[in-house]
Amino acid sequence: MQIELIAITPEPEQVIELAARTCYQSQDLQERDSAGVLIGKLLTMGHETPLEHAYATFRISGCSRAMSHQLVRHRLMAVCQKSQRYVTEENFEYVTPLTLAAEDRAEFAADMATIGRMYGKWKARGLRNEDARFVLPNACATELVISANFREFRHIIALRCSRHAQWEIRSACTQMLKQLHAHAPAVFGDLLESAGPS
C-alpha cells in the first residue's frame, strides 16, 4: 500500500491560529512560534472548528477494497475511487492479509487466480464490468484520492489508529498521521503519541 500526500494547506498551523484568533480578536498576539501553544489550548477546550480551515489530500493505492470500504464510511471526507464499472478487473491485483500464515499464501493466490478466471468467464459471456465484478473479492486492490480538513482527519485517525481497528486501515491511517504530523505537529502530536504500532 502506498500513501502519498499530494496537497496540504500551506502553513496550516498559522492558518488555524489566524482563524482562532479571529474569534477572540487577538491577532496582535500572533507571533512566529505562537501557533503551537494556541492549538494545544484549542484541543484542550474542545474548540476544534479552527482546525477545519486546513485541508490535506492523499492518494492511497495498492490497498484492498476491504480497507477502502471502511475508509469511505467517513462522510465528511471527499473521495474519488477507481471504478469497477469503467475500468476492467481482468488481471486484477489483490492484497494478501498480513495475518495469513506463510504456508497458506500459495493457496490464497490460487483462490485469487480462480476468481480471476470466473471474472473472465462472465465477461466472455457478455456481462459488462459493472456486473462481472459481482464475483470479485474484497481483496481486490484499489486506488483512492481522499481530502478532508484537519478536524475530520483527527476524528478518522483517532478511530482508525486504535487497537480495535482492522490492521490495514490502521496501517493506512498511521502512515497518514505521520505525514500530517510532519506539517502540523501541534495538531497531530497527541495522536502520534497515543497511536499504537501500525
Ligand X SMILES: Cc1cc2nc3c(=O)[nH]c(=O)nc-3n(C[C@H](O)[C@H](O)[C@H](O)COP(=O)(O)OP(=O)(O)OC[C@H]3O[C@@H](n4cnc5c(N)ncnc54)[C@H](O)[C@@H]3O)c2cc1C
Cβ atoms of 105 and 174 closer than 8 Å: no
Interacting span for ligand X (CB under 6 A) from 34-42, 69-77, 86-94, 119-127 = 69-77
> Which CB atom, from 118 or from 158, has the smaller least distance to ligand X?
158
Q: Nearest approach, Cβ of 79 to ligand X (angstroms)?
A: 11
Q: What is the DSSP string of 122-147?
A: HHHTT--HHHHGGG--TTBEEEEEEE
Q: What is the DSSP string of 2-71?
A: EEEEEEE-SSHHHHHHHHHHHHHT-GGG--TT-HHHHHHHHHHHT--GGGGG-EEEEEEEEEEHHHHHHH
Q: Is 78 in the site for ligand X (CB under 6 A)?
A: no
Q: Is 74 in the site for ligand X (CB under 6 A)?
A: yes
Cell of 179: 505525514
Q: Is 117 in the site for ligand X (CB under 6 A)?
A: no
Interacting span for ligand X (CB under 6 A) from 36-44, 74-82, 86-94, 182-190 = 74-82
Q: Which residue of 47, 82, 123, 155 would you call a contact of ligand X, by CB under 6 A?
A: 155
Which residues here bind ligand X, judged by CB under 6 A? 73-76, 152, 155, 159, 164-165
